[in-house]
């Protein structure tokens, strides 16, 4: 496993962006873990998060011009990742994000940042993915604003779950849009790093929590 993945998983639990216990998700599922990218709200944390996104993007070796971050959580992800790519890796790409509502004054555009055309190659960046609803909304925004080519989608964590139709959630999105979905880490990698291992003296996934995860995955998980 690459070092940036291990560092990222440790960062997730230290920042309390990834918690283990019992959580009711929007879908109604009661999950033994919960991911929240909103926990990365300091300069140190958002920089570390962006560096992990940059590492995953470079691993994917996708050809892009612009990183698009959907409002609202995707905005800091897109901006900070473009900055890290330039400062740390010498790769100069642009960012773009959408407003929830178009302005009726000034430039009046729905999008902020790099202009998009049919020739623009885009990476769609977000935190997590479940049913693909947010991706569909982003695709609609992009289609109506320049209709660029979305070459890849990058998320922080692949929960490795089925959607509400019983399909592999990520595979369903890939099939729906014809776009490859990449993640910084997946659940298997999280378990590999955390199960029974102390991180700064804390075991985040002990045998009891691991049993809860295994039971949950029997119902909702994919391999």
Q: How far apart are CA 174 and CA 177, in angstroms?
A: 6
Q: Is residue 179 within 8 Å of residue 150, measured between CB atoms?
A: yes
Closest CA to 113 of 146, 140, 88: 146
Q: How far apart are CA 60 and CA 223, in angstroms?
A: 21
Look up residue 206 and give its two tokens.
């002990």
Q: Which of 100, 105, 198, 218 is catalytic?
A: 105
Task: Tokens 């769609």: give the residue.
Answer: 124
17 C-beta neighbours (distance < 10 Å), count: 22
Closest CA to 189 of 7, 27, 55: 7
Do the strands 94-98 and 111-113 form a parallel or antiparallel pair, or are they unpaired? antiparallel
* 195 catalytic per annotation: no
Q: Which of 87, 103, 143, 211 is catalytic?
A: 103
* 14 catalytic per annotation: no
Q: Which residues are catalytic?
A: 103, 105
């Amino acid at each position: 496993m690459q070092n940036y993945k291990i560092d990222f998983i440790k960062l997730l639990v230290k920042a309390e962006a990834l918690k283990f216990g019992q959580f009711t998700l929007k879908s109604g599922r009661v999950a033994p873990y919960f991911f929240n990218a909103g926990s990365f709200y300091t300069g140190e944390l958002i920089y570390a998060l962006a560096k992990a996104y940059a590492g995953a993007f470079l691993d994917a070796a996708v050809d892009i011009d612009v990183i698009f971050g959907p409002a609202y959580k995707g905005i800091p992800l897109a901006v900070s990742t473009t900055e890290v790519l330039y400062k740390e890796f010498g790769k100069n790409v642009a960012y773009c994000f959408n407003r929830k509502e178009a302005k009726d004054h000034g430039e009046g555009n729905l999008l902020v940042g790099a202009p998009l055309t049919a020739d623009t190659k885009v990476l769609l960046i977000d935190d997590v993915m479940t049913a693909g609803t947010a991706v569909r909304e982003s695709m609609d925004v992009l289609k109506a604003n320049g209709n660029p080519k979305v070459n890849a989608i990058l998320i922080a964590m692949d929960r490795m779950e089925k959607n509400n139709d019983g399909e592999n959630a990520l595979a369903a999105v890939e099939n729906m849009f014809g776009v490859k979905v990449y993640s910084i880490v997946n659940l298997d990698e999280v378990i590999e790093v955390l199960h029974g291992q102390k991180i700064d003296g804390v075991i985040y996934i002990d045998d009891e929590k691991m049993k809860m995860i295994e039971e949950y995955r029997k119902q909702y998980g994919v391999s």
